[in-house]
Amino acid sequence: MSHRVPFPFALLRFWSRRLLPMWAFVGLVIFLMQIAVCAIVHDNASVKNFLNFLDVLPAFIKTALGGEMLQAGNVPGLILIGYQHPLVLFLYMLFAVGVPTTLLTGEVQKGTMELILSRSATKTQVYVCASMLTLAGMFALVLVMFLGTVAATRLYDFGQPIPLDLFFRIAVNGGLVAGAAGSIALLAAGVLAGRNGAVGVTVAVLVLDYFAWIVAQWWPSLGFLKPAALFYYARSPELAHGWPLGDMSVLLLVILACTILGGVVWQRRDLPL
């Protein structure tokens, strides 16, 4: 007779506490980044200087930060710089790559996975714990980013109403993009034996994806690459008017496919204990 193994909440709690300092640090930097961007944006003189500076730099940098949305007076477009600033994207990537590889391949390499799996925790449950922390952590970071914008609108006067509902939609959609990045890392951690391999593959995929998106925007003949890039969905044109349900479905599909595939391979393969 088969006995059902209870869900390992103790492991979930233990891992959450170990990740909390890293999550809090990344969250704090992202939060402060939004405040800093809004501090610059609410001052017209600073905005003009900043835009003049951007015009001096190669065009793809302006493209990466928002492209034609970056106009003096277009306050929402300027605030969005904080949502796609390279530092913010780097921090997201750090968390997305770091969490599943630390929890899955990291514990395997440390030898502690053998102990975890020798207790009452199935391989699938362990993978689910890592998935929950990765996806929930990524989504929560995006909400912290939105809270940074909300806090900035209370701190600074922009001379015009700030459409927070738009930013909320962007944040939720961005949460799905971040979750998709996390699910790619989960897939790598579930499939690959070593932590370095999993980190390397995930970073390579995300960097290529990012540059495919930049190049596709900058070079019209490569526009067909856009839908293949995760970052394309972060800036869905439909966001200005409502929820981009089609794009969100694509992102959800990527999250589900990568997470489930990683879980299936993780369950089936012998871990290098």
Partner 1 sequence: MATLEVRSLTKWYGPVLGIEGVSFALERGEIFGYLGPNGAGKTTTIRCIMGLIRPGGGEVLALGEPVVSGRATRHQRMGYLPGEFRLWPGVRAGRSLRVLASLGGGDGARARRLQLAERLELDLDRPVGQLSKGNRQKVAVIYAFQHQPELLILDEPTNGLDPLVRQTVLDLIREAAQQGATVLLSSHDLSEVGAVCGRAAILRAGHLVEMGPISKLVQRGEHRLKVWFLDGALEPPVPLGRLPGVRVIEQQPGLLHLAYPGACDAVLRWVAQFPVDRIATPQTSLEEAFIQYYKTAPPPAAAAGAEPAPKGNP
DSSP string, 47-88: HHHHHHHHHHS-HHHHHHHTGGG--TT-HHHHHGGGGS-HHH
- Sketch the per residue contact string, 232 through 271, with partner 1: x for CB under 8 A, - otherwise: -----------------------------------xx-xx
What is the C-alpha separation between 32 and 132, in angstroms, rounded? 26
What is the C-alpha separation between 168 and 251, in angstroms, rounded? 17
Q: For residue 70, state whether it binds partner 1 (rule: CB under 8 A).
A: no
**Shortest Å distance, C-beta 122 to partner 1:** 5
**Shortest Å distance, C-beta 128 to partner 1:** 13
The answer to whether 250 and 233 are in contact (CB under 8 A) is yes
Q: For residue 273, state whether it binds partner 1 (rule: CB under 8 A).
A: yes
Q: For residue 118, state whether it binds partner 1 (rule: CB under 8 A).
A: yes
Q: For residue 112, state whether it binds partner 1 (rule: CB under 8 A).
A: yes
Tally of CB atoms within 10 A around 166: 16
Q: How many helices (H) and strands (E) does the chain have?
A: 12, 0
**Shortest Å distance, C-beta 120 to partner 1:** 3
Segment holding 154, helix H or strand E: helix 123-155
Q: For residue 21, state whether it binds partner 1 (rule: CB under 8 A).
A: no
Closer by beta carbon to partner 1, 2 or else 221: 2
SS3 243: coil
Q: For residue 132, state whether it binds partner 1 (rule: CB under 8 A).
A: no
Closer by beta carbon to partner 1, 99 or else 181: 99
**Shortest Å distance, C-beta 4 to partner 1:** 10
The answer to whether 217 and 67 are in contact (CB under 8 A) is yes
Q: Which of 22, 94, 117, 215 binds partner 1 (CB under 8 A)?
A: 117
What is the C-alpha separation between 214 and 225, in angstroms, rounded? 10
Q: Which of 111, 159, 161, 237 binds partner 1 (CB under 8 A)?
A: 111
Q: For residue 14, state whether it binds partner 1 (rule: CB under 8 A).
A: yes
What is the C-alpha separation between 50 and 80, in angstroms, rounded? 14
Count residues binding partner 1 (CB under 8 A): 28
Which residues of the shown chain bind partner 1 in the complex (CB under 8 A)?
1-3, 5-6, 8, 10-11, 14, 110-112, 114-124, 267-268, 270-271, 273
